[in-house]
Amino acid sequence: MTRKISDSTVRRLSLYLRILEALEREGIATVSSEDLAGRSGTTAAQVRKDLSHFGSFGKRGLGYAVRDLREHLQRIMGLERRWRVVLVGAGRIGSALFDYAGFRSRGFDIVAVLDADASKVGQRWGEVVIGDSASLEDIIRRHCVDVAIVAVPVEAVQGVVDRVVSAGVRGILNFAPTRLRVPEGVALKDVSLVMELEALSFSLSRHASLGP
Amino acid sequence: MTRKISDSTVRRLSLYLRILEALEREGIATVSSEDLAGRSGTTAAQVRKDLSHFGSFGKRGLGYAVRDLREHLQRIMGLERRWRVVLVGAGRIGSALFDYAGFRSRGFDIVAVLDADASKVGQRWGEVVIGDSASLEDIIRRHCVDVAIVAVPVEAVQGVVDRVVSAGVRGILNFAPTRLRVPEGVALKDVSLVMELEALSFSLSRHASLGP
């Protein structure tokens, strides 16, 4: 299955999954595409189109079996697998991320933490001892790392990303507010609070300047 | 100025601002649109088009004065203003956000923190005492709140957002992994680590399934 699936489709699949999990907790066994659409702010036709990329689900007139579709979506999203993760950057953001339970529940296991600051190297976080960023390539190979979470200052981030990519990492979650270059075949996702804040500030100012 | 500016333009303005700040720190006085474009992964024509929405900057053949353009962009993004913020949700994410210095440096001052959990109400975080979510509307009016940062469980978030909007809040930063409904004129930005993680997992799985 090599067809390109758009980011907005993937985003909706996440939403459907979240809704199906909630329905399952409420003990609801089937759901129509209309109901799924209503709860995710889209149309029934869009729901059917999104799911049709991955096979044939649901029965005409009966809707989808909630549990079956939830399991299918989890498999489609790769959430039944586990990924081995290196966290690069043991600062404020890195520390909050290390504590974030959502990684583990979605299959991301942080197996190593690295920092360039000698005063942090050797500190113990839970079961992990912070290593020296200088040994990034070693650590990645030794721990068979699949994914890098990069929480380093914006000046350092492209250099770190180039190194993790050459060491064989295929997935990157970046927290620095910048646009990174990665080769084709490497999955990159950005989470930048700074950029969202600036976009919010921009919208607020424009609304404000239109006010009385 | 009521023209609609696209999200991707705003995102690039953020990038230009970041680059200009870095150039200024390095003591560089002027920059060409080609150079700005190269550093932000776009084209010189795009840079000129993005900036032309907001007036006329730069001199033909001389480029942009770094400091001037940085100041203009800050004004355009509303970053010279301050916004009064209520943080709703004093859990793990709320606590990390409260500690995040980037809010203050971009003009967002957290003036109140609320939680629905009685055991948290009354706790002191820095200069703020955690209030009861039941008094959301009161707090918003009393503190002249402009913006709500919402870090509550996904089941509760739409209800909280409806309440802050009716109380007059015009900007929302949402951390729950769901799609929220807000009326026109309310600026909403989402930061969902869960959805980025699931998108990353999806990309990784697809790449993996194409492998040997």
Q: In this structure, what CATH number is given to the domain that contains residue B179? A: 3.40.50.720
Same domain (yes/no): A44, A123: no
A40: nearest Cα among A21, A16, A66, A24: A16
R_g of chain B, CA atoms, integer Å: 21
Question: What does the DSSP assignment read for chain B?
Answer: ------HHHHHHHHHHHHHHHHHHHTT--EE-HHHHHHHHTS-HHHHHHHHHTT---SBTTTBEEHHHHHHHHHHHTTTTS-EEEEEE--SHHHHHHHT-THHHHTTEEEEEEEES-TTTTT-EETTEE-EEGGGHHHHHHHTT--EEEE---HHHHHHHHHHHHHTT--EEEE-SSSPPP--TT-EEEE--HHHHHHHHHHHHHHHHHH--
Q: Does residue A132 sit in helix, strand or coil?
A: strand
Q: Does residue A108 sit in helix, strand or coil?
A: strand
- Cβ burial, residue A126 (10 Å; 0-12/13-18/19+): exposed
Q: Per-residue pLDDT for A161 more than 60?
A: yes
A156: contact with B, CB 8 A cutoff: no
Q: What tens digit of pLDDT does each residue of A46-87 get?
A: 999 999 988 887 777 788 999 999 999 999 999 989 999 999
Is B106 in contact with A197 (Cβ distance < 8 A)? yes
**A208 assigned to some structural domain:** no
Residues 6+ apart with CB under 8 A from A119: none
Q: Does residue A85 sit in helix, strand or coil?
A: strand
Q: Per-residue pLDDT for B212 more than 60?
A: no
**B206 assigned to some structural domain:** no
Q: Does residue A15 sit in helix, strand or coil?
A: helix
CATH number (domain holding residue B65): 1.10.10.10
List the single residue in A15, A99, A171 with the smallest CB-CB distance to B203. Answer: A171
How far is residue A44 from each of residues A59, B181, B192, measured CA to CA in Å?
A: 14, 18, 24
Give the dihedral sign, CA B128/B131/B136/B138: negative
**B209 assigned to some structural domain:** no
Same domain (yes/no): A58, A159: no
**A143 assigned to some structural domain:** yes
Same domain (yes/no): A32, A134: no
Same domain (yes/no): A89, A178: yes
Q: Per-residue pLDDT for A3 more than 90?
A: no
Q: Per-residue pLDDT for A211 more than 50?
A: no
The minimum CA-CA distance between B113 and chain A, rounded to whole Å, is 18
Same domain (yes/no): B67, B153: no
Q: What tens digit of pLDDT does each residue of A19-51 get?
A: 999 899 999 999 999 999 988 888 999 999 999
Residue with the larger pLDDT of the pair B132 and B5: B132
pLDDT band at B147 (very low <50, low <70, confident <90, very high): very high
A80: contact with B, CB 8 A cutoff: no
pLDDT band at B208 (very low <50, low <70, confident <90, very high): low
A199: contact with B, CB 8 A cutoff: yes
φ/ψ of residue A5, rounded to 5: -105, 130
B200: contact with A, CB 8 A cutoff: yes
**B164 assigned to some structural domain:** yes
**Residue B38 pLDDT:** 86
Q: Averaged over A178-199, what is the pLDDT?
A: 88
Is A171 in contact with B83 (Cβ distance < 8 A)? no
Same domain (yes/no): A123, A172: yes
Is B207 in contact with A194 (Cβ distance < 8 A)? no
- How many structural domains is chain B composed of? 2
**Residue B161 pLDDT:** 97
In angstroms, the CA B49 to CA A178 distance is 20
Q: What tens digit of pLDDT does each residue of B80-126 get?
A: 899 999 999 998 788 878 888 788 888 899 999 999 999 999 999 99
pLDDT band at A212 (very low <50, low <70, confident <90, very high): very low
ipTM of the complex, rounded to two decimals: 0.84
**A155 assigned to some structural domain:** yes
List the single residue in B5, B170, B199 with the smallest CB-CB distance to A207. Answer: B170
B29: contact with A, CB 8 A cutoff: no
φ/ψ of residue A110, rounded to 5: -80, 110
Residues of A in contact with B92 (CB under 8 A): 99-101
Q: Per-residue pLDDT for A2 more than 70?
A: no
**B210 assigned to some structural domain:** no
Q: What tens digit of pLDDT does each residue of B28-68 get?
A: 999 999 999 988 888 999 999 999 988 887 777 788 999 99
Q: Per-residue pLDDT for A141 more than 80?
A: yes
Same domain (yes/no): B88, B178: yes
Q: Averaged over B118-145, what is the pLDDT?
A: 96
In this predicted structure, which of A44-48, A203-207, B155-159, B198-202 has the lowest mean pLDDT? A203-207
Q: A89: alpha, beta or left, given left = phi > 0 and alpha = psi -120 to 50?
A: left
Q: B12: alpha, beta or left, given left = phi > 0 and alpha = psi -120 to 50?
A: alpha
Q: Does residue A191 sit in helix, strand or coil?
A: coil
Same domain (yes/no): B102, B63: no
Same domain (yes/no): B87, B191: yes
Instruction: State which residue of chain A sits closest to B99, comparing Cα positions.
Output: A92
Residue with the larger pLDDT of the pair A197 and B113: B113
Residue of A202, A209, A210 for testing the chain B interface, max B β-carbons within 10 Å: A202
Same domain (yes/no): A116, A141: yes
Tokens 């948290």 sit at which residue? B120
Same domain (yes/no): B173, B95: yes
pLDDT band at B77 (very low <50, low <70, confident <90, very high): very high
Residues 6+ apart with CB under 8 A from A83: A107, A108, A109, A146, A147, A171, B201, B204
Q: Averaged over A93-98, what is the pLDDT?
A: 85
- Domain residue limits at A71: 7-76
Q: Averaged over A182-187, what is the pLDDT?
A: 93
Among residues A15, A49, A76, which one ends one of the domains?
A: A76
**B212 assigned to some structural domain:** no
Q: Averaged over A134-143, what is the pLDDT?
A: 96
Question: String of b and e for A178-196 (b: at least 16 CB within 10 Å)?
Answer: bbbebeeebbbbbbbbbbb
Same domain (yes/no): A185, A105: yes
The mean of the pLDDT values for chain B is: 89
